[in-house]
Amino acid sequence: MQTNIECDLCGSEKSMPFLELPQVPFNLVACSECGLVYLDPRPSPEELGQYYSTNYYTSQAAQLIKPTFHQFFKKLAYRARCESSDGITPLNRTTKRVVATLLGWHAFRPVPVCNQGRLLDVGCGNGEYAAWIRDNIKGWKVEGVEVNEYAATQAREAFGLRVYIGHLPNLHLPESHYDMISFWHSLEHMYSPSSGIRESHRLLRNNGVLAIEVPNISCWEAKFIGANWYHLSVPLHLYHFTPTTLSKMIQSNGFRIISMKQVHGNASILDAVNTNKIALPSFLKPLVKIAAHTLGRQSAWALRVYAIKTYP
Ligand SMILES: [Zn+2]
């Protein structure tokens, strides 16, 4: 077990209690200087493995994605955004976006500024995201990083993906090699998210894109549900971000933020109901699920940021 952990954002050794957790001995603290929320005490890297179920990343086996109508519209929506800086006329781009929206599909984690390049997906899990980009957005080459060997094997076998096993800062990948590096719900799992972002700065070419999505500890849902908030994920999530702390960490490591979006969804309350974290008599469940779905959609439960590598 590790205790008295130094703040990963500002280096301060002073912290104050943030949230008392039922999962003894873990607790959430906030840095007294910069407000970064983190787990202290937390499991050591050697202990952490026992807290991951074998299917944490891969509760569903990786499956080849079939060309359905849904996929067609998804591709259309992606393309509309990919081409935003590629000499496409604003009218054409707007038309595509309107069409994609009217068809009822919002692109899931789009590639925002360049329409070709090399993507490194950090925490790629079973590889579905990286493989989808490779197979649907022409011009993209993709690779993944994953600490979980089981997930990495799935990504390799199901999608033929190149996956590096280990922690990003220890892999010594080639400098200025990638056009986009993504952390889709993986940054909060790292022992030092700052060093992950710093390493991304080294690995990206100039003007390359850093894409991050993490749970948002400052959303009302987190405050309302408290210690049972789904995305606390104790003790797997070692850090929790607000728009302020996430921005500071990105900017202090040589990036300029081009967009920060609050992601709305129905995951959290609904999951709490589904997994009986919020215990209810069964006759009430359908009703509460409808309410949770509606309320959850109003909650900005995650933050999605795109940033550009600048020098130094
Ligand atoms: Zn701090």
Q: What is the pLDDT of residues 213-249, one digit of tens each?
A: 999 999 888 888 888 888 888 899 999 999 999 999 9
Q: What does the pLDDT read at residue 47?
A: 85
Amino acid at 283: F
Point out which residues pair with 164 in neighbouring strands. Answer: 145
Question: From ligand 1's centre to the CA of 11, what distance in Å?
Answer: 6
Which phi and psi (to 5°) does residue 38 adopt?
A: -150, 165
Contacts of residue 309, defined as CB under 8 A and 6 or more positions apart, other chains included, come to 201, 204, 205, 206, 207, 208, 209, 210, 254, 255
Question: From ligand 1's centre to the CA of 13, what distance in Å?
Answer: 8
Question: From ligand 1's centre to the CA of 248, what distance in Å?
Answer: 10
Q: What does the pLDDT read at residue 57?
A: 52
Question: From ligand 1's centre to the CA of 245, what distance in Å?
Answer: 9
Question: From ligand 1's centre to the CA of 14, what distance in Å?
Answer: 8
Question: From ligand 1's centre to the CA of 169, what distance in Å?
Answer: 21
Question: From ligand 1's centre to the CA of 127, what distance in Å?
Answer: 33
pTM (two decimals):
0.81
CB under 5 Å of ion ligand 1: residues = 7, 9-10, 12, 31, 33-34, 36
CA atoms within 13 A on the CB side of 144: 30
Q: What does the pLDDT read at residue 225?
A: 81
Question: From ligand 1's centre to the CA of 194, what distance in Å?
Answer: 11
Taking CA atoms, 19 is separated from 29, 249, 278, in Å, by: 7, 22, 18
Question: From ligand 1's centre to the CA of 215, what distance in Å?
Answer: 18
Sites in the chain below the pLDDT cut of 50: 58-62, 82-86, 104-107, 112-113
Question: From ligand 1's centre to the CA of 37, what distance in Å?
Answer: 9
Taking CA atoms, 290 is separated from 266, 267, 276, 299, in Å, by: 10, 12, 16, 15
Residue 76 structure tokens: 């259309």
Question: From ligand 1's centre to the CA of 251, what distance in Å?
Answer: 14
Report, in this order, helix, strand and coil percent for the chain, each rounded to 5: 40, 25, 35
Question: From ligand 1's centre to the CA of 34, what distance in Å?
Answer: 4
What whole-number distance in Å separates Cα of residue 140 and Cα of residue 157? 20
Point out which residues pair with 239 in neighbouring strands. Answer: 38
Q: What does the pLDDT read at residue 104?
A: 46
Q: What does the pLDDT read at residue 277?
A: 67
Q: What does the pLDDT read at residue 101?
A: 56
Question: From ligand 1's centre to the CA of 172, what distance in Å?
Answer: 27
Point out which residues pair with 131 in neighbouring strands. Answer: none
